[in-house]
Amino acid sequence: MICVSIGRGRHRFMMAEHRHLVEQGAQLVELRLDYINGEVNIKRLLADRPCPVVISCRRERDGGKWNKGEEKRLLLLRSAIAEGVEYIDLEEDIAAQIPRYGKTRRIISYHDFHKTPEDLEALHRHMASLDADIVKISTMANNPHDNIRMLTLIRQSKIPTIGICMGEIGIPTRILAGKYGAPFTYATFHHERALAPGQLTFQQMKEVYRYDEINGQTEVYGVVADPVGHSLSPLIHNAAFKHLKLNKVYVPFRVPREHLNQFLEDCQHLAVKGLSVTIPHKEAIVSKLTQADGAVRGIGACNTVIFKDGQRLGYNTDYRAAMESLEEAMGIPPNAEAPLRGKTALILGSGGVGKAIAYGLLRRGANVVVTDGIAEKARQLAEQFQCRYAEWSLRHTVPADILVNATPIGMHPNVDETPFERRHMKPSMVVFDAVYNPENTLFIKEARAQNCKVITGLEMFVRQAALQFKLFTGLEAPVELMRDVVRRAIAAVKY
């Protein structure tokens, strides 16, 4: 079950949101009394309520807005119990001051907006001793391993426990709480009104992650990146899982570079079956694999990991997706031998995607020139693949037949940037942008204006995701659905 938190300044707005949420399928809401301006009318808020309610009133030190005195706050909480509210949320330091009464269930809560304490078990034992029906611990995640500690606490607790790690790193605990036995998790009404760091919206939890369908048998997949909030991978993979009625969920994992090793170890405890890998981990993860396919070994970058029988199997679907996109746009028949012989390809960017595309173009006979704003990276790539290198400042002088942007330049929100000046584009060029959000980058728009043949990053993104889906599930991906989901998501972004 998902508890949706509502924090509004006026009673009528809070009540209207409550009614609207129930119409959208909400089964439980939290009314945050600390958000109400002026005097709080408990009777009005609870009269004719359309679904069960959690009442909370947070002090500023607990991440709330209450500043009208502690005695008045305690009186409000006691009044809510007297009115027969279904759940009352009491911080652990005041729980002893408010006795049980009637049928109201007691949530004993603890908040730490700076860290996740070392001894969660001792904290939990203390809270459970305060006549708790439910223990709620909400702490800041500074390390992805905090998620494992919190989810393990939920699973091992004899008393119903809600364990949440806040912040972007902690998002997996919000999505996977039910799988580990939490009675419910929390979401917000709207993304612009999140009441805690990392809180997802009710719509996201319900429609993207299908939270109420997650159970102990649900298989976990995800994308590992830093940052991860911009990724559209959860949208398309979860939509595909839903379409094929698969008991699987795809989760965003924000993992800083220094925590990658620990995270991969933790994947075993999370029962993660597969990962999409993106910036900044595509190259670093290669050394952590137990097996890698030929493309990963040749490129030195991996964007897909499968966990099977204790092994970490690495694949590179970027490479295949890029080449399939390019060959289709250029009308090259499948399995043609050296179809790009005599063509010169200029690749802007030498990260994981740039490596994958350079590898594919070289295998198809192209003369490849690489360049990057960080000169040493491009030189290293040119040396690795025994191809040519150009200084970034001289990129416009390369006589290219194929021009590839493998940098993040032009990606949302920097949509007015381009890595290559329009006046140097020729109508004979094939222009390929690996950036997919937005689909029509400035780079692509200017290439079209010069009558170049263009390939958008959306095509490559959907193809690589479809190849990942096949590796994850053994099933053919619903490609048209995935493409439609990405387009609708991009169109919803306000530039």
Q: How many residues does the chain have?
A: 495
In three-state secondary structure terms, 213 is helix
Query: Nearest 5°: phi and psi at 5?
Result: -85, 130
Catalytic (active site) residue 282:
yes
157: region left, alpha or beta (phi > 0 left; psi from -120 to 50 alpha): beta
116 Cβ contact list (under 8 Å, min separation 6): 139, 140, 141, 142, 143, 146, 149, 150, 165
- Give the Cα separation of 239 and 106 in Å (integer): 37
**Catalytic pick among 18, 124, 136, 145:** 136
**Catalytic pick among 124, 179, 248, 282:** 282
Other CB atoms within a 10 A radius of the CB of residue 422 amount to 14
- Give the Cα separation of 187 and 199 in Å (integer): 6
Tokens standing for 482? 């995935």
What are the residues facing 139 on neighbouring strands?
112, 165
- Give the Cα separation of 318 and 490 in Å (integer): 20
**Catalytic pick among 18, 34, 89, 111:** 111
- Give the Cα separation of 165 and 35 in Å (integer): 23
Exposed (0-12), middle (13-18) or buried (19+): which is 393, by Cβ within 10 Å? Answer: exposed
Tokens standing for 290? 């137990």
Q: For residue 438, is the peptide bond before it cis, meaning its omega torsion is within 30 degrees of 0? A: yes
What are the residues facing 404 on neighbouring strands?
347, 432
**Catalytic pick among 266, 318, 372, 433:** 318
In three-state secondary structure terms, 328 is helix
Catalytic (active site) residue 126:
no
Residue ranges in 25-140 assigned as alpha helix (H): 42-46, 70-82, 120-128
Q: Return the exposure string of 346-359: e unless at least 16 CB atoms fall within 10 Å of the residue's CB, then b.
A: bbbbbbbbbbbbbb
Residue with tokens 């390809």: 345
Please, are residues 433 and 444 in contact by the beta-carbon 8 Å criterion?
A: yes
Q: Return the exposure string of 273-300: e unless at least 16 CB atoms fall within 10 Å of the residue's CB, then b.
A: bbbbbbebbbbebbebbeebbebbebbb
Exposed (0-12), middle (13-18) or buried (19+): which is 210, by Cβ within 10 Å? Answer: middle
Catalytic (active site) residue 245:
no
Residue with tokens 């199997």: 313
Please, are residues 348 and 374 in contact by the beta-carbon 8 Å criterion?
A: no
Please, are residues 85 and 18 in contact by the beta-carbon 8 Å criterion?
A: no
Instruction: Measure Cα distances from 7 to 58, 175, 187 in Å.
Output: 11, 21, 12
Q: Which residues are catalytic?
A: 111, 136, 282, 318
